[in-house]
Amino acid sequence: MLTVGDRFPDFHLKAVRPGPEGLALASAFTEIGPETDAGKWKIVFFWPKDFTFVCPTEIVAFGKLAGDFADRDAVVYGVSTDSEFVHLNWRLHHDELRSLPIPMLADIKRELAGACGVLDRTEGVALRATFVVDPDGIIRFASVNDLSVGRNPNEVMRVLDALQSDELCPCNWNKGEAVLKPAA
C-alpha cells in the first residue's frame, strides 16, 4: 500500500458529477484526472461497493463536510470499483445520495485502487482507504479500515487542519488549539 511520502498515482476516471447535474443522464458524467483541481489538497477515499450498508454512511458524511474541506482549499473524491452507471443509479435511488456534493469516481479497471495497493485480496474490491494528498501530489496521510468498519471524516478534517498548520500538533489537537514548540 502507498503511504506517507509516496506520490499519489496519476489517474483519469469517469465520475458522476456532484449535485443536481449528477442526476440527469445528459449531464451526469465527467472525467477526473490530475489536472482537475490542480494545486488543491485532495481527500481521496475508497469504498468497497455501491448499494451496501456502511458505504453510504461514509459517503454522506464526507459529502456533509465538502464545504468545510473546500474552505481549506481541498476537494473530496469518492472512489469505488463500480461503474459510473452504477454510481448514478445508486444516487437516483438513495435519498441521502441524491444531493451529494462530491463526485463519485468509477475505477472499474481497478487501476487506481491497484496502484494505491488498496484492493481486498479476497473480494477484489477497494478497501476503506483514505488518502490526504497535498497540492504537489504527495500523500501526507493514509488510512485503511476493515471492510465492516466505517471511518470518521471529521478525523480526516482534523488531520488536514494539522497538516496545513505546518506545526507540531499533539494528540487530539484541533484547529485553533496550541501547537507544540520545541525547546531552542
Please write the tens of the pLDDT for every residue from 67-98: 999 999 999 999 999 999 999 999 999 999 99
- In angstroms, rounded to a whole number, what is the distance separating the alpha carbons of residues 41 and 134? 5
Provide the residue ranges of all domains of the chain, joining segments of one domain with +. 13-165
- In angstroms, rounded to a whole number, what is the distance separating the alpha carbons of residues 19 and 21? 6
Provide the sign of the torsion angle of the four alpha carbons 36, 42, 47, 53, taken in this order.
negative
Domain 13-165 carries which CATH code?
Answer: 3.40.30.10
Give the residue-averaged pLDDT of 30-57. Answer: 97
Please write the tens of the pLDDT for every residue from 30-40: 999 999 999 99
- In angstroms, rounded to a whole number, what is the distance separating the alpha carbons of residues 82 and 63? 19
- In angstroms, rounded to a whole number, what is the distance separating the alpha carbons of residues 143 and 4? 10
Please write the tens of the pLDDT for every residue from 155-181: 999 999 999 999 999 999 999 999 999
DSSP string, 128-184: EEEEEE-TTSBEEEEEEE-TTS---HHHHHHHHHHHHHTSB--TT--TTSPPB----
> CB count, 10 Å around CB of 59?
26
| Catalytic center residues | 55
pTM score, whole prediction: 0.97
